[in-house]
Amino acid sequence: MNFDFSEEQTLLKDSVAKFIQNEYSYEARQKNSQSDAGYSEKNWSTFAELGWLCVPFTEEQGGIGGGPVEMMIMMEEFGKGLVVEPYFSSVVLSGGLLAKVGNENQQAELITGIIDGSKKIAFAYNESQARFDLHNVATQAEKNDQGYVINGNKSLVLHGASADLLIVSVRTSGESLDRDGITLLVVPANAEGVTVKATRTLDGQRAAEVQFANVAVGSDALLGEEGKAASVIDQVADEAILALCAEAVGSMEKLYKDTVAYTKERKQFGVAISGFQALQHRMVDMFTAHEQCKSLLLRAVLSYAAGDSDVAKNIAALKYQVGVSGQAVAHEAVQIHGGMGMTDEMSVGMYLKRINMINTLFGNADYHLQRFAELSAA
Amino acid sequence: MNFDFSEEQTLLKDSVAKFIQNEYSYEARQKNSQSDAGYSEKNWSTFAELGWLCVPFTEEQGGIGGGPVEMMIMMEEFGKGLVVEPYFSSVVLSGGLLAKVGNENQQAELITGIIDGSKKIAFAYNESQARFDLHNVATQAEKNDQGYVINGNKSLVLHGASADLLIVSVRTSGESLDRDGITLLVVPANAEGVTVKATRTLDGQRAAEVQFANVAVGSDALLGEEGKAASVIDQVADEAILALCAEAVGSMEKLYKDTVAYTKERKQFGVAISGFQALQHRMVDMFTAHEQCKSLLLRAVLSYAAGDSDVAKNIAALKYQVGVSGQAVAHEAVQIHGGMGMTDEMSVGMYLKRINMINTLFGNADYHLQRFAELSAA
Amino acid sequence: MDIQFTPEDIAFQKEVRAFLSENVTDEIRRGYTGGEVDPDIMVKWQKILHKKGWVAPNWPAEIGGTGWTITQKYIFENECADSGAPSVIPFGLKMVAPVIYTFGSDEQKKRFLPDILESNVWWCQGYSEPGAGSDLAALQTKAELDGDHYVVNGQKIWTTYAQDADWIFCLVRTSSEGKRQAGISFLLIDMKTPGVEVRKIDTIDNQHTLNEVFFDNVRVPVENRIGEENKGWTYAKVLLTHERTAIAGVAQSKKGLQKLKEFTAQEKVGAGVLADDPLLAAKIAKVEIDLMALEYTELRAIASVSAGGAPGPESSILKIRGTEIQQAVSELTIEACGHYAHILNDGEAIGNDMSWVASAKYLYGRASTIYGGSNEVQKNIIAKMVLGL
Amino acid sequence: MDIQFTPEDIAFQKEVRAFLSENVTDEIRRGYTGGEVDPDIMVKWQKILHKKGWVAPNWPAEIGGTGWTITQKYIFENECADSGAPSVIPFGLKMVAPVIYTFGSDEQKKRFLPDILESNVWWCQGYSEPGAGSDLAALQTKAELDGDHYVVNGQKIWTTYAQDADWIFCLVRTSSEGKRQAGISFLLIDMKTPGVEVRKIDTIDNQHTLNEVFFDNVRVPVENRIGEENKGWTYAKVLLTHERTAIAGVAQSKKGLQKLKEFTAQEKVGAGVLADDPLLAAKIAKVEIDLMALEYTELRAIASVSAGGAPGPESSILKIRGTEIQQAVSELTIEACGHYAHILNDGEAIGNDMSWVASAKYLYGRASTIYGGSNEVQKNIIAKMVLGL
pLDDT tens for B48-65 read: 999 999 999 999 999 999
- Chain B: residue nearest A280 by CA? B278
Residues of chain A with pLDDT > 70, as a percent, come to 100
Banded pLDDT at C135 (limits 50, 70, 90): confident
Banded pLDDT at B190 (limits 50, 70, 90): very high
From chain B, the residues in CB contact with D340 under 8 A are: 128, 156
Banded pLDDT at D245 (limits 50, 70, 90): low
Which residue range(s) make up the domain with C66? Answer: 7-88
Listed by number, the residues of chain B in 153-172 with a beta carbon closer than 8 Å to a beta carbon of chain D are 155-156
Interface test with B, best of D125, D323, D342, D366 (most B CBs within 10 A): D342
From chain B, the residues in CB contact with A281 under 8 A are: 278
Whether D277 is in a domain gets the answer: yes
Q: State the average pLDDT over residues B281-290.
A: 98
Banded pLDDT at D233 (limits 50, 70, 90): very high
Whether D73 shows a pLDDT value over 70: the answer reads yes
Provide the residue type at A362 as one letter: F
Q: Which of B263, B283, B302 has the CB atom closest to C3's CB atom?
A: B302
Residues of chain D with pLDDT > 90, as a percent, come to 74
Which of C196, C231, C266 represents a domain boundary (last residue)?
C231
Whether C191 is in a domain gets the answer: yes
Mean pLDDT, chain C, rounded, equals 91
Same domain for C56 and C24, yes or no, is yes
Whether D206 is in a domain gets the answer: yes
Whether C380 is in a domain gets the answer: yes
Same domain for C294 and C259, yes or no, is yes
ipTM field: 0.96
Interchain CB contact of D278 with C (< 8 Å): yes
Residues of chain B with pLDDT > 70, as a percent, come to 100
- Chain C: residue nearest B310 by CA? C292
Whether B1 shows a pLDDT value over 80: the answer reads no
DSSP state for residue D231 in the 8-state scheme: B
Whether D41 shows a pLDDT value over 90: the answer reads yes
Whether C244 shows a pLDDT value over 60: the answer reads no
Same domain for C130 and C68, yes or no, is no
Whether C115 is in a domain gets the answer: no
Same domain for C55 and C129, yes or no, is no
Whether A40 shows a pLDDT value over 60: the answer reads yes
Banded pLDDT at D35 (limits 50, 70, 90): low
Residues of chain C with pLDDT > 70, as a percent, come to 96
Q: What is the distance in angstroms between the Cα of A283 and the nearest Cα belonging to chain C?
A: 14
Q: State the average pLDDT over residues B343-369.
A: 97
Same domain for D253 and D379, yes or no, is yes
CATH number of the domain enclosing C256:
1.20.140.10
Same domain for C212 and C262, yes or no, is no
Whether B35 shows a pLDDT value over 60: the answer reads yes
3-state secondary structure of C196: strand
Whether A26 shows a pLDDT value over 90: the answer reads yes
Q: What is the 3-state secondary structure (H, E, C) of chain B?
A: CECCCCHHHHHHHHHHHHHHHHHCCHHHHHHHHHCCCCCCHHHHHHHHHCCHHHCCCCCCCCCCCCCHHHHHHHHHHHHHHCCCCCHHHHHHHHHHHHHHHCCHHHHHHHHHHHHHCCCCEEEECCCCCCCCCCCCCCCEEEECCCEEEEEEEEEEEECHHHCCEEEEEEECCCCCCCCCCEEEEEEECCCCCEEEEEEEECCCCEEEEEEEEEEEEEHHHEECCCCECHHHHHHHHHHHHHHHHHHHHHHHHHHHHHHHHHHHHCEECCEEHHHCHHHHHHHHHHHHHHHHHHHHHHHHHHHHHHCCCCHHHHHHHHHHHHHHHHHHHHHHHHHHHHHHHHECCCCHHHHHHHHHHHHHCCCCHHHHHHHHHHHCCC
Same domain for D196 and D127, yes or no, is yes
Q: How many domains does chain D have?
A: 3
Provide the residue type at B29 as one letter: R
Banded pLDDT at D243 (limits 50, 70, 90): low
- Chain B: residue nearest A281 by CA? B278
Same domain for C144 and C80, yes or no, is no
Q: What is the distance in angstroms between the Cα of A368 and the nearest Cα belonging to chain B?
A: 21
Whether C100 is in a domain gets the answer: no
Whether D239 shows a pLDDT value over 80: the answer reads no
Q: State the average pLDDT over residues A136-150.
A: 96
CA distance A102 to A90: 15
Whether C243 shows a pLDDT value over 60: the answer reads no
pLDDT for the residue numbered D302: 82
Question: For the segment D175-231, what is each residue's pLDDT rounded down to a tens digit?
Answer: 999 899 999 999 999 999 999 999 999 999 988 999 999 999 999 999 999 999 999
pLDDT for the residue numbered D241: 60
Same domain for D284 and D180, yes or no, is no
CATH number of the domain enclosing C206:
2.40.110.10
Whether D240 is in a domain gets the answer: no
Which of D172, D202, D231 represents a domain boundary (last residue)?
D231
Give the C-alpha distances (Å, rounded to integers) separating A220 from B148, C207, D234. 82, 47, 74
Which of D205, D231, D257 represents a domain boundary (last residue)?
D231
Q: State the average pLDDT over residues D127-142.
A: 90
Same domain for D205 and D313, yes or no, is no
CB-CB under 8 Å, A277 with B276: yes
Listed by number, the residues of chain D in 249-288 with a beta carbon closer than 8 Å to a beta carbon of chain A are 258, 261-262, 264-265, 275, 278, 281-282, 284-286, 288
pLDDT for the residue numbered C35: 65
Q: State the average pLDDT over residues C299-312.
A: 78
Domains of chain A by start residue, with CATH: 7-119 (1.10.540.10), 122-227 (2.40.110.10), 231-377 (1.20.140.10)
Q: State the average pLDDT over residues D261-282.
A: 95
Interchain CB contact of A293 with D (< 8 Å): yes
Banded pLDDT at C302 (limits 50, 70, 90): confident
Whether D309 shows a pLDDT value over 80: the answer reads no
Same domain for D224 and D342, yes or no, is no
Same domain for D347 and D255, yes or no, is yes
pLDDT for the residue numbered D373: 84
Banded pLDDT at C126 (limits 50, 70, 90): very high
Whether C236 is in a domain gets the answer: no
